[in-house]
């Protein structure tokens, strides 16, 4: 599967470098080590990652993801200096070791994840300094000394990770970044501050997506997202990283079930410095935006909300989703209150969350028009990143009672679709204003041209009238001169 899109700098990015292969029956499977006291609400391995790199126009996403995992491993073993591994060395050997001959060292057409990992086990990897990332060298055999150097840095073990939320979180909490592959969609072309939305239904068509390999380096329960390292350079997303919903990567329609970790023999203990026990989000949330919102925008938002304030509308969205199955569990109400509280604090409200939830249930819970109006209003004032944060909160709320009903999920999915195709903040408003200004300028130009044409027509008519008047005057003179002649005859 492949698709391409045009980037803001005018270049085209093609997504086509990943090849899928069934895992063999003897594949070693990841199982939890049993060393964790608990699974923390957040894990972020980025502080041990090397700088995000760019695969350029090559089809080397698998090699880049594998190199990222390998460099993380080396940095933990070697300390702060780490080891900048040659991505083209990994990419070449992945194609060379392809037993089926689907990929070839003679062309830049992608590779299999398992073959890239087998290359690390068989040959290791030399440094990028020894065999640099030069796109003209994609089909060139790595030069002298590269394999001798690479042999010092082989991996000893690899395991496949099932597409299971608990397994992924446990794996990351134990300090293992996950090399994985998934279908990517047009939302990857311009992620707002790294927030990747759930794919909408029409993006499932073959021409609308492509298979891509990346590296998962963390997760956040408050946001219901995985932290993912891409290979499109630090200018993309959030400094080269993005935030993908749990539902995206745990969905068999999107995850390609080809996920791996790599290890050395001397297994390292979990790096608890990467853990976080707080409930702060990695995405910008609504309370943070309110704190930085200027007075004019805030006044406009208050006016737009009318007689039903922001906090009630937010509570209504949460409660309608949680109660779509016909009941509101205590766990769902508690989770809703936790997400409404910081908004109330930021607004300076003297009400507590329980009072707001009671008021919303008593007076607005069955108001369909208000609910959908609220869904439509939020994108007018909040960015895609904030909307993604709210979606994460919705997902957490409806799953807080350990059961997600189809009706609850349907409400959340509908909100996702509305927010992906609806207004998306200041950028769209500016585009609309620019479009209106351009239209006004065009109208003014057209009106000016019409006025000039009208003036020219008037001038021509006046000239014609003057000529007619002069001719008539001459005729009169001739007529009078004839009369005079008659008098004198």
Reply yes or no on whether the pLDDT at 195 is more than 60: yes
Quick: pLDDT tens for 47-96.
989 999 999 999 999 999 999 999 998 888 777 667 899 999 999 999 99
CB 362 within 8 A of CB 214: no
Residues 215 and 351 in one domain: no
Residues 94 and 164 in one domain: yes
Residue with tokens 């759930």: 198
Mean pLDDT score of the chain? 84
Q: Is residue 468 part of a domain?
A: no
- State the total domains in the chain: 2
Q: Is residue 170 part of a domain?
A: yes
Region of 175 on the Ramachandran plot (φ > 0 left; ψ -120 to 50 alpha; else beta): left
* Helix runs in 399-425, H state only: 406-421
Check residue 448 and give its pLDDT: 55
Tokens of 113: 């994840």
More confident residue, 7 or 117: 117
CB 126 within 8 A of CB 86: yes
Cα dihedral 96, 98, 101, 105 sign: negative
Q: Is residue 454 part of a domain?
A: no
Residues 42 and 154 in one domain: yes
Quick: pLDDT tens for 216-252.
999 999 999 999 999 999 989 899 999 999 999 999 9
Quick: pLDDT tens for 87-145.
999 999 999 999 888 999 999 999 999 999 999 999 999 999 999 999 999 999 999 89
CA 371 to chain centroid, in Å, comes to 26
Residues 258 and 319 in one domain: no
Residues 204 and 346 in one domain: no
Residue that terminates a domain, selected from 403, 419, 435: 419
Model pTM score: 0.71
Per-residue confidence band for 425, with pLDDT thresholds at 50, 70 and 90: very low
**Cα atoms found within 13 Å of the Cα of residue 475, Cβ hemisphere only:** 6
Q: Is residue 336 part of a domain?
A: yes
Q: Is residue 435 part of a domain?
A: no
Check residue 10 and give its pLDDT: 63
Neighbours of 58 (CB within 10 A): 20
Check residue 424 and give its pLDDT: 39
Residue that terminates a domain, selected from 227, 247, 276: 276
Q: Is residue 475 part of a domain?
A: no
Reply yes or no on whether the pLDDT at 466 is more than 60: no
Residues 174 and 42 in one domain: yes
Q: Is residue 485 part of a domain?
A: no
Distance CA 271, CA 179 (A): 19
Strand partners, 112: 19
Residues 11 and 46 in one domain: yes
Distance CA 467, CA 486 (A): 29
Domain containing residue 119: CATH number: 3.90.70.10
Residue that terminates a domain, selected from 393, 419, 445: 419
Q: Which residue range forms the structural domain that includes residue 290?
A: 286-419
* Phi, psi at 257, each rounded to 5°: 55, 45
Residues 7 and 126 in one domain: yes
Residues 385 and 407 in one domain: yes
Percent of the chain residues past pLDDT 70, beyond the cut: 79
Q: Is residue 135 part of a domain?
A: yes
In 3D, which of 61, 79, 73, 51 has the Cα closest to residue 13? 61
Residues 155 and 298 in one domain: no
Consecutive H or E run containing 218: strand 210-220
Residues 75 and 215 in one domain: yes
* Phi, psi at 386, each rounded to 5°: -65, -40
Domain containing residue 362: CATH number: 1.10.3680
Residues 220 and 338 in one domain: no
Check residue 119 and give its pLDDT: 96
Per-residue confidence band for 489, with pLDDT thresholds at 50, 70 and 90: very low
Quick: pLDDT tens for 281-323.
777 788 888 888 888 898 899 999 999 999 999 999 999 999 9
């Amino acid at each position: 599967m492949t698709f391409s899109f045009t980037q803001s700098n005018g270049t085209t990015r093609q997504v086509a470098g990943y090849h899928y292969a069934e895992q063999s029956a003897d594949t070693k499977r990841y199982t939890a080590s049993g060393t964790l006291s608990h699974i923390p609400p957040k894990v972020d391995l980025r502080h041990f990652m090397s700088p995000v790199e760019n695969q350029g126009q090559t089809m080397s996403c698998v090699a880049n993801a594998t190199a990222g995992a390998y460099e993380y491993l080396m940095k933990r073993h070697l300390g702060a200096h780490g080891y900048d591994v040659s991505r083209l060395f990994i990419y070449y050997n992945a194609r060379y070791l392809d037993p089926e001959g689907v990929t070839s060292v003679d062309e830049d057409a992608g590779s299999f994840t398992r073959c890239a990992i087998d290359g690390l086990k068989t040959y290791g990897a030399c440094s990028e300094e020894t065999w640099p990332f030069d796109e003209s060298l994609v089909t060139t055999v790595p030069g002298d000394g590269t394999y001798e150097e690479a042999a010092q840095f082989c991996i000893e073990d690899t395991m496949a990770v099932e597409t299971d939320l608990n397994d992924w979180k446990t794996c990351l909490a134990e300090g293992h970044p996950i090399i994985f592959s998934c279908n990517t969609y047009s939302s990857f072309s311009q992620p707002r501050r790294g927030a990747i939305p759930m794919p909408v239904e029409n993006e499932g068509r073959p021409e609308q997506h492509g298979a891509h390999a990346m590296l998962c380096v963390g997760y956040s329960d408050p946001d219901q997202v995985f932290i993912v390292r891409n290979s499109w350079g630090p200018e993309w997303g959030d400094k080269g990283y993005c935030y993908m919903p749990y539902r995206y990567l745990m969905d068999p329609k999107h995850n390609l079930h080809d996920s791996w970790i790599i290890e050395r023999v001397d297994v390292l203990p979990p790096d608890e410095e990467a853990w976080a026990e707080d409930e702060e989000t990695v995405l910008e949330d609504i309370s943070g935006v309110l704190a930085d919102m200027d007075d004019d925008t805030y006044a406009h938002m208050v006016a737009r909300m009318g007689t039903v304030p922001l906090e009630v509308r937010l509570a209504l969205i949460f409660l309608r989703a949680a109660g779509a199955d016909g009941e509101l569990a205590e766990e769902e109400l508690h989770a809703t209150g936790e997400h409404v509280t910081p908004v109330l604090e930021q607004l300076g409200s003297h009400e507590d969350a329980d009072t707001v939830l009671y008021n919303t249930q008593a007076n607005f819970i069955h108001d369909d028009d208000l609910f959908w109006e609220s869904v439509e209003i939020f994108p007018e004032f909040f960015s895609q990143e904030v909307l993604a944060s709210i979606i994460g909160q919705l997902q957490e709320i409806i799953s807080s009672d350990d059961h997600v009903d189809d009706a609850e999920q349907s409400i959340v999915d509908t909100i996702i679709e509305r927010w992906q195709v609806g207004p998306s903040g200041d950028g769209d408003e500016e585009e609309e204003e620019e479009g209106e200004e351009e239209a006004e300028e065009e109208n003014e130009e057209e009106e000016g041209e019409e006025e000039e044409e009208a003036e020219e027509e008037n001038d021509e008519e006046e000239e014609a009238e003057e000529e007619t008047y002069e001719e008539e005057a001459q005729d009169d003179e001739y007529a009078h001169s004839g009369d005079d002649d008659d008098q004198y005859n």
